[in-house]
Amino acid sequence: MFGAPYDSRYAPPVLGQTSEVYSRYFNEFMALVEAVTKKTQKKAIIFGHSYGGMVALEFVRSTPQAWRDEHIEHLILVAPTLPTGFLGALQTFIVGTDMILVPTATITELSARPMWRSFESAMVNFPSPAVFGRQPLVITKKRNYTAYDMEDFLAALGFGEGIEPFRRRAVPKMYSFEAPMVPMTCINAVGNRTPLQLVFRGDDDFDEPPEVAAYGDGDGEINLLSVLAFDREMGRQPGQEKRFKSIKIANANHTTVTINDFALKRVIQEIIEVNQVHS
């Protein structure tokens, strides 16, 4: 087993985009895979969880098809942050996140919010209009905002400087559903109340956490409707549809799907089965 750590501040590019950071990272990733497959005389199984799942997906999609056929046996994604987006990404952008800090009396999610918003990764998983359509995602006294209104919402947040990078980096990803064209398994937790709509009661006060007005199914972070939309896209694309498997695990969430014994055993079982089939 080999690791390929990435810089979570940056967003992996979709086809047609460029990234100095990820260009270097993907080259190093390719070199690692080539070295391992040469040493073991076996194709590689690429595994990624959460944001790492998105990085793994974009890595595979960035490589030439002939290289994939030669070096990649299987792609396994667990609770990946997919191009379809999810409301949780928007929620953390609004109020901040503790993913980048250890909260103290003086360092809070709110105080660290400007730093979080400066990262490409902060807005790259906003809900995709292709999935969430015209349903209101954020409700305020002045207006409602759908997935189509994210540029207006960035302006309402007082973050107009984010509109250009959002348009340039995030919007193309929202519609990037090209299949990786390798055998792929996508594993997601389900059965958790997952935010689907946010309400702000105050007057343009986005410093106070919003109320969750509606929940849907999901893993507590990623909406099930996003997962199902990705499943449909993979299942309908020629060359991928017969090489795609989707697994749903109940009684686990976005984090515990790789921690709880029963869920972790199911994930490991999938890896073992892939190894056995091709050993």
pTM: 0.92
pLDDT level of residue 165 (50, 70, 90 thresholds): very high
237-263 mean pLDDT = 95
Of the residues 19, 62, 219, 226, which is catalytic?
219
Of the residues 50, 121, 128, 176, which is catalytic?
50
User: Residue 60 in 3-state DSSP?
Assistant: helix
Sign for the pseudo-dihedral over CA of 207, 209, 214, 216: positive
254 classed as catalytic: yes
> Smallest Cα–Cα separation from 194: which of 172, 214, 169?
214
pLDDT level of residue 101 (50, 70, 90 thresholds): low
pLDDT digits 0-9 by tens, 257-275 = 999 999 999 999 999 999 8
Pick the CATH number of 22-277 from 1.10.150, 2.60.120, 3.30.70, 3.40.50: 3.40.50
15-23 mean pLDDT = 91
pLDDT level of residue 104 (50, 70, 90 thresholds): low
247 sits in the region (left: phi over 0; alpha: psi -120 to 50; else beta) called: beta
Angstrom distance (rounded) from CA 176 to CA 174: 6
pLDDT at 230: 97
261 classed as catalytic: no
28-32 mean pLDDT = 97
pLDDT digits 0-9 by tens, 109-163 = 777 888 889 999 999 999 999 999 999 999 999 999 999 999 999 999 999 999 9
Q: What does the domain layout of the chain look like in residue ranges?
A: 22-277
